[in-house]
Structure 1
Amino acid sequence: MHFQHVNWGDQYTGRIRSNAKAQVNDHIFVEGRLGHEMDFKDSSKDSGLVPNSTGVSMDRLHAVWMPTDKFSVDLGRTGVELDQSGVFWDEDAIFDGVVVSAGSEKAGVSAGYGRFKSVEFLDAQYKDQASREAWFGRGYATVGALDVSAFYVGYLQNHNTDAAKNFLAQPEVKADKKADVWGFGASVDLGHNLKLDGDYVQTLYKMSYNGKKLLNNPTMWTLGLTYGEVDTDMPGSYSFGIRYVDADYASNMLGATGLDLEDQLHYSYEEGTGVSFWAARAAVAVQKNVELAAYYNFGAKSDVKGKANPKNSWGMELNYTF
């Protein structure tokens, strides 16, 4: 259950997920997850299947082959990890395709081919899902208390909606016909229950109008510090943290953020401005299988002179696992 006070109003929402896993044999399992989102404030979003539901969907349905514990092939609707913090890409977002992974806890690589379905920006750039195929590669390593990783996502087709083609056809416009993205990050265990993590992500896309640069490989970076960790099997366990995010205009256009509140990033894209802001979060296991969390995004600044700064936003949620 969620309550959020964001720039476009208050939201009262909920989500129910049902997971199922079937072990086919010693090396293959199939997993599915059915979920539906509920909006308790706006009943016009009723899906017809669940009262006040904004939609019912199968957001996981995949088969995994693991001949050894150091190699796997994941096929279907699954999730992938890109950055360390999840500020750019949420592991819970949807990737449709195939992912091959090899490695151990110390080091490894993964590569995949398919569609990053949760990227909303691409809906205006590609006419259908079949047009937005991409590949990605990611590597990681652990050295002592330090974890490092890097990734690259490359799109295969050019933007192909009529609107995108007409925009590129204007003589005043000079722009790339598609965008890719890469990034690297690190996290370090500082001891005493403290963890520091950060990411740098750059979208490879340039655009100018009448000789004025509007986009020049926009970047996003973040740095966060967290104390503690919530374990819902241990009532009373808790965590709290603070994060700083600095995002150029359109630096998140190929992302699907895992931040609890994303309206500052939406504001950036909709208003054509870069933003920087702080995000604080605290959570506690109030009893077994129950987590209570609260979060607050504040101090947001626009990097365009004269442009209004995004407002503060906050929210809280209660999660029950059964």
Structure 2
Amino acid sequence: MRRLTSYLTRLFASDALILFGIVCFLLWLVNCLRSFDVVSVKGQGFGTLALQALYTMPPLALSFFYICVGIGVVRALTALQTSHELHIIHTSRGVSGLWRAAIVTCAGAVAMVLILAHMIEPLANRQLNRLSAEVAADLVSSTLKPNRFTQVTPGVILLIGGRADGGVITEFFADDRRDPETRRTYIAASARVVSVGEDYVLELRDGALQYTEADGRYSEIRFSRYDVSVESLAQQVAQIDVLSETDSFALITRALDTGWEPGLVKRLLDRSAEGLRVLGLVLLVVAVAGFPSGNRMRFRLPLEALVMLVAFGERGISAYSPLGTGTGAFALIIAGAAILAVRLWPRRPLAAVTP
């Protein structure tokens, strides 16, 4: 790698990584504050709190990683513009080094975001679900106070009458309102938490399962024994998304064995779209800020703010487009390529004016 390419790559990457590290740390602190009920209500220590906040970071990191890369590149280009180094690069035929540095930075960022989307995020989701189940199992088996309503997760409230020998819970009650269409109520004379491999099961005995539909219909199922997965009670949603905690390699293996289901294909495409976002934003930033300018304006919008606005618009387009989550990324790529083509288009020299 030539010296100019190496120098520019270090500028682009260092600014992006520093900003990404700062944002990650701040968001981790915010997640710790939001999950502080784990310590205060559910009887867990700071280690559980910190680990739970860490497992929630990958989805958030995917949301702002490409923004950090875009801001890092635009800050480096703005600094080169201010110091007139960008002018020297263009006048001394060093533009190829600028393009190579942008390509290397973009390729490294795309590789990082694909690893984060296809491997790290599913692993973090799986570990978070397991940790939530362990916290819920500990809450039910030992921490939950008798005759006191306790919220395990938003929408799920537990109540026990007391505890007996052998970890048996007397007069168990659980109210599940996570599903807006159906309210489920578990009532049992006794209950016990049992470990089955790496999972936890709540054994309910001599009770009833009551369903209340949104239209007012009511049904009841009485049982002598009913097993409930503790993980299902610990989730913020009523149904567990299995695909979200399965890495892409396992999804591809599953698809080759059982067929390419539409939901599975959509999940793989959504994860791959994160790499297109990085490519589109870097291309647009280089097209806008990669050329020297001598224009002076009283008020000038910071390019960092422009990157934020563009990223916000891209997220909006991707969220509401019927074509999929990659629509906004393709729009960025097209816009960046168009601006770059206009700025690189050869212009005819002006004719000399003689007096």
Q: Name the larger-Rg structure.
A: 2
Structure possessing the higher relative contact order (Cα contacts under 8 Å, 6 or more residues apart):
2
- Fold shared, TM-score > 0.5 on shorter chain: no
TM-score, normalised to structure 2, is 0.25
TM-score, normalised to structure 1, is 0.27
Greater helix share, structure number: 2
